[in-house]
Structure 1
Amino acid sequence: MTPEELRAFCLEFNAAVEEFPFGPETSVFKVLGKMFALSALDATPLTANLKCEPDLAVRLRADHPGVIVPGWHMNKRHWNTVTVAALPDRMVRELVEDSYDLVVAGLPRADRLRLNRP
Protein backbone atom coordinates (compact mmCIF):
# COMPACT_ATOMS: atom_id res chain seq x y z
CA MET A 1 0.00 0.00 0.00
CA THR A 2 1.37 3.39 -0.96
CA PRO A 3 1.16 6.51 1.21
CA GLU A 4 -1.51 7.90 -1.14
CA GLU A 5 -3.55 4.71 -0.85
CA LEU A 6 -3.27 4.74 2.94
CA ARG A 7 -4.42 8.38 3.08
CA ALA A 8 -7.32 7.73 0.70
CA PHE A 9 -8.44 4.65 2.64
CA CYS A 10 -8.36 6.47 5.98
CA LEU A 11 -10.47 9.28 4.53
CA GLU A 12 -13.13 6.87 3.18
CA PHE A 13 -14.65 6.38 6.64
CA ASN A 14 -17.67 8.38 7.77
CA ALA A 15 -16.66 11.78 9.21
CA ALA A 16 -12.93 11.00 8.84
CA VAL A 17 -10.62 14.00 8.51
CA GLU A 18 -6.88 14.51 8.18
CA GLU A 19 -5.22 17.01 10.51
CA PHE A 20 -1.63 18.00 11.29
CA PRO A 21 -1.46 18.80 15.04
CA PHE A 22 2.14 17.54 15.33
CA GLY A 23 3.49 19.39 12.30
CA PRO A 24 3.17 19.14 8.53
CA GLU A 25 5.02 15.82 8.28
CA THR A 26 2.59 13.80 10.42
CA SER A 27 -0.92 13.04 9.19
CA VAL A 28 -3.42 12.39 11.95
CA PHE A 29 -6.70 10.81 10.90
CA LYS A 30 -9.63 11.50 13.20
CA VAL A 31 -13.31 10.77 13.51
CA LEU A 32 -15.29 13.42 15.40
CA GLY A 33 -12.12 14.73 17.01
CA LYS A 34 -10.72 11.33 18.08
CA MET A 35 -7.59 9.89 16.47
CA PHE A 36 -7.77 6.47 14.80
CA ALA A 37 -4.57 6.55 12.69
CA LEU A 38 -1.29 8.47 12.65
CA SER A 39 1.39 8.31 9.97
CA ALA A 40 4.37 10.20 8.62
CA LEU A 41 3.34 9.51 5.03
CA ASP A 42 6.76 10.58 3.66
CA ALA A 43 8.70 8.20 5.91
CA THR A 44 10.57 5.15 4.70
CA PRO A 45 9.48 2.60 5.65
CA LEU A 46 5.86 3.74 5.76
CA THR A 47 4.38 3.05 9.20
CA ALA A 48 1.06 3.81 10.84
CA ASN A 49 0.00 3.93 14.47
CA LEU A 50 -3.34 2.16 14.83
CA LYS A 51 -5.56 1.50 17.81
CA CYS A 52 -6.09 -2.16 18.68
CA GLU A 53 -7.81 -4.26 21.32
CA PRO A 54 -5.12 -5.08 23.93
CA ASP A 55 -5.28 -8.89 23.62
CA LEU A 56 -5.24 -8.75 19.83
CA ALA A 57 -2.37 -6.24 19.91
CA VAL A 58 -0.21 -8.73 21.82
CA ARG A 59 -1.07 -11.57 19.41
CA LEU A 60 -0.36 -9.45 16.34
CA ARG A 61 3.03 -8.40 17.74
CA ALA A 62 3.91 -12.05 18.40
CA ASP A 63 2.75 -13.15 14.93
CA HIS A 64 4.55 -10.28 13.13
CA PRO A 65 7.70 -9.45 15.12
CA GLY A 66 9.41 -6.28 13.96
CA VAL A 67 6.52 -5.50 11.63
CA ILE A 68 3.83 -4.84 14.24
CA VAL A 69 5.30 -3.35 17.41
CA PRO A 70 3.98 -1.40 20.41
CA GLY A 71 2.77 2.04 19.35
CA TRP A 72 5.59 4.56 19.12
CA HIS A 73 4.87 7.48 21.48
CA MET A 74 1.43 5.99 22.21
CA ASN A 75 -0.21 3.94 24.94
CA LYS A 76 1.53 0.63 24.24
CA ARG A 77 -1.43 -1.37 25.50
CA HIS A 78 -3.91 0.08 23.00
CA TRP A 79 -1.79 1.14 20.02
CA ASN A 80 0.45 -0.66 17.52
CA THR A 81 2.91 0.74 15.03
CA VAL A 82 2.50 -1.18 11.79
CA THR A 83 5.08 -1.30 8.97
CA VAL A 84 2.65 -0.98 6.09
CA ALA A 85 4.74 -2.37 3.20
CA ALA A 86 5.61 -5.52 5.17
CA LEU A 87 1.98 -6.64 5.34
CA PRO A 88 -0.61 -7.51 2.69
CA ASP A 89 -2.83 -4.55 1.74
CA ARG A 90 -5.91 -6.45 2.89
CA MET A 91 -4.48 -6.87 6.40
CA VAL A 92 -3.52 -3.19 6.61
CA ARG A 93 -7.05 -2.24 5.56
CA GLU A 94 -8.50 -4.53 8.25
CA LEU A 95 -6.22 -3.03 10.92
CA VAL A 96 -7.18 0.52 9.92
CA GLU A 97 -10.88 -0.37 9.91
CA ASP A 98 -10.58 -2.06 13.32
CA SER A 99 -8.87 1.06 14.67
CA TYR A 100 -11.65 3.29 13.32
CA ASP A 101 -14.34 0.98 14.74
CA LEU A 102 -12.70 0.94 18.19
CA VAL A 103 -12.58 4.73 18.29
CA VAL A 104 -16.18 5.03 17.12
CA ALA A 105 -17.28 2.48 19.74
CA GLY A 106 -15.91 4.81 22.42
CA LEU A 107 -17.93 7.79 21.20
CA PRO A 108 -21.20 8.83 22.84
CA ARG A 109 -24.22 6.94 21.52
CA ALA A 110 -25.65 10.01 19.76
CA ASP A 111 -22.42 10.45 17.81
CA ARG A 112 -22.33 6.75 16.88
CA LEU A 113 -25.89 6.99 15.58
CA ARG A 114 -24.95 10.01 13.46
CA LEU A 115 -22.24 7.86 11.91
CA ASN A 116 -24.69 4.96 11.34
CA ARG A 117 -22.60 2.70 13.60
CA PRO A 118 -24.66 1.69 16.65
Structure 2
Amino acid sequence: MSTAESDLRVHAGASDAEQPRAAECAAACERARVAGRLVVAYELVARRAGCDEVIRFRNPLFLKVEADCARDTQAWNGDWLESLWRVRFARPLERLGGADSVFVRGTAVSRDLRTRAAAIVMAQSEPRTA
Protein backbone atom coordinates (compact mmCIF):
# COMPACT_ATOMS: atom_id res chain seq x y z
CA MET A 1 0.00 0.00 0.00
CA SER A 2 1.46 3.38 -1.00
CA THR A 3 1.54 6.26 1.42
CA ALA A 4 -1.10 8.01 -0.68
CA GLU A 5 -3.36 4.95 -0.37
CA SER A 6 -2.97 4.85 3.42
CA ASP A 7 -3.69 8.59 3.65
CA LEU A 8 -6.84 8.10 1.58
CA ARG A 9 -8.19 5.57 4.07
CA VAL A 10 -8.56 8.50 6.48
CA HIS A 11 -10.70 10.32 3.88
CA ALA A 12 -12.80 7.28 2.90
CA GLY A 13 -16.03 8.95 4.02
CA ALA A 14 -15.37 12.24 2.21
CA SER A 15 -18.28 13.75 0.31
CA ASP A 16 -18.08 14.23 -3.46
CA ALA A 17 -17.24 17.90 -2.93
CA GLU A 18 -14.44 17.04 -0.45
CA GLN A 19 -12.82 14.28 -2.51
CA PRO A 20 -10.60 16.48 -4.74
CA ARG A 21 -9.23 18.18 -1.62
CA ALA A 22 -8.69 14.77 0.00
CA ALA A 23 -6.73 13.66 -3.08
CA GLU A 24 -4.57 16.79 -2.88
CA CYS A 25 -3.91 16.20 0.83
CA ALA A 26 -2.91 12.56 0.21
CA ALA A 27 -0.52 13.59 -2.59
CA ALA A 28 1.04 16.30 -0.42
CA CYS A 29 1.53 13.86 2.48
CA GLU A 30 3.19 11.31 0.22
CA ARG A 31 5.52 14.00 -1.18
CA ALA A 32 6.45 15.13 2.33
CA ARG A 33 7.39 11.55 3.27
CA VAL A 34 9.90 11.18 0.42
CA ALA A 35 11.38 14.71 0.43
CA GLY A 36 15.16 14.54 0.69
CA ARG A 37 15.20 10.72 0.61
CA LEU A 38 16.74 8.24 -1.76
CA VAL A 39 14.30 6.35 -3.98
CA VAL A 40 14.69 3.52 -6.48
CA ALA A 41 12.88 3.95 -9.80
CA TYR A 42 12.83 2.39 -13.27
CA GLU A 43 11.24 5.39 -14.95
CA LEU A 44 12.01 9.11 -15.21
CA VAL A 45 10.32 12.07 -16.80
CA ALA A 46 12.82 14.37 -18.54
CA ARG A 47 11.65 17.88 -19.40
CA ARG A 48 13.26 19.48 -22.45
CA ALA A 49 12.08 22.90 -23.64
CA GLY A 50 8.73 22.45 -21.91
CA CYS A 51 8.04 18.97 -23.35
CA ASP A 52 7.99 15.89 -21.10
CA GLU A 53 9.55 12.60 -22.21
CA VAL A 54 9.09 9.38 -20.23
CA ILE A 55 12.27 7.29 -20.17
CA ARG A 56 12.24 3.71 -18.85
CA PHE A 57 15.34 1.83 -17.73
CA ARG A 58 16.10 -1.91 -17.39
CA ASN A 59 18.20 -1.40 -14.30
CA PRO A 60 17.02 0.65 -11.35
CA LEU A 61 18.18 4.20 -10.77
CA PHE A 62 19.01 5.49 -7.32
CA LEU A 63 17.69 9.03 -7.08
CA LYS A 64 17.25 11.63 -4.39
CA VAL A 65 13.95 13.49 -4.26
CA GLU A 66 14.73 17.16 -3.76
CA ALA A 67 13.70 18.45 -0.35
CA ASP A 68 12.30 21.68 -1.80
CA CYS A 69 9.04 20.96 -3.60
CA ALA A 70 8.77 24.42 -5.23
CA ARG A 71 9.83 23.03 -8.64
CA ASP A 72 7.59 19.94 -8.53
CA THR A 73 4.58 19.63 -10.77
CA GLN A 74 1.11 18.64 -9.61
CA ALA A 75 -1.89 18.95 -11.89
CA TRP A 76 -5.30 17.49 -12.53
CA ASN A 77 -5.36 15.46 -15.77
CA GLY A 78 -9.04 14.66 -16.26
CA ASP A 79 -10.14 12.91 -13.06
CA TRP A 80 -6.57 12.15 -11.92
CA LEU A 81 -4.23 14.28 -9.81
CA GLU A 82 -0.74 13.54 -11.13
CA SER A 83 2.45 14.46 -9.30
CA LEU A 84 5.99 14.77 -10.64
CA TRP A 85 8.76 15.16 -8.06
CA ARG A 86 12.05 16.76 -9.03
CA VAL A 87 14.99 14.42 -8.44
CA ARG A 88 18.75 14.42 -8.82
CA PHE A 89 21.30 11.66 -9.10
CA ALA A 90 24.99 11.17 -8.37
CA ARG A 91 26.26 11.28 -11.95
CA PRO A 92 24.62 12.53 -15.13
CA LEU A 93 23.27 10.02 -17.63
CA GLU A 94 24.15 10.51 -21.30
CA ARG A 95 20.61 9.52 -22.23
CA LEU A 96 19.32 12.60 -20.40
CA GLY A 97 21.59 15.11 -22.14
CA GLY A 98 19.85 18.42 -22.64
CA ALA A 99 17.14 17.80 -20.05
CA ASP A 100 16.16 20.99 -18.21
CA SER A 101 14.66 19.04 -15.28
CA VAL A 102 14.29 15.40 -14.25
CA PHE A 103 11.29 14.08 -12.31
CA VAL A 104 9.92 10.83 -10.93
CA ARG A 105 6.18 10.14 -10.93
CA GLY A 106 4.39 9.96 -7.57
CA THR A 107 1.16 8.06 -6.90
CA ALA A 108 -1.73 9.44 -8.99
CA VAL A 109 -4.99 9.94 -7.10
CA SER A 110 -8.42 10.21 -8.73
CA ARG A 111 -11.29 12.50 -7.75
CA ASP A 112 -13.11 9.45 -6.37
CA LEU A 113 -9.97 8.54 -4.36
CA ARG A 114 -8.67 5.61 -6.42
CA THR A 115 -4.89 5.35 -6.89
CA ARG A 116 -2.44 4.46 -9.68
CA ALA A 117 1.01 3.24 -8.72
CA ALA A 118 4.00 5.57 -8.57
CA ALA A 119 7.16 4.99 -10.60
CA ILE A 120 9.03 4.46 -7.33
CA VAL A 121 9.89 0.90 -6.37
CA MET A 122 11.28 1.65 -2.92
CA ALA A 123 12.03 4.66 -0.73
CA GLN A 124 14.70 5.05 1.93
CA SER A 125 13.39 4.24 5.39
CA GLU A 126 13.37 6.67 8.28
CA PRO A 127 16.86 7.53 9.53
CA ARG A 128 17.86 5.68 12.67
CA THR A 129 17.99 7.57 15.93
CA ALA A 130 20.16 6.62 18.87
Q: What TM-score, normalized by structure 1, do the two folds share?
A: 0.31
Q: What TM-score, normalized by structure 2, do the two folds share?
A: 0.29
| Higher percent of residues as strand | 2
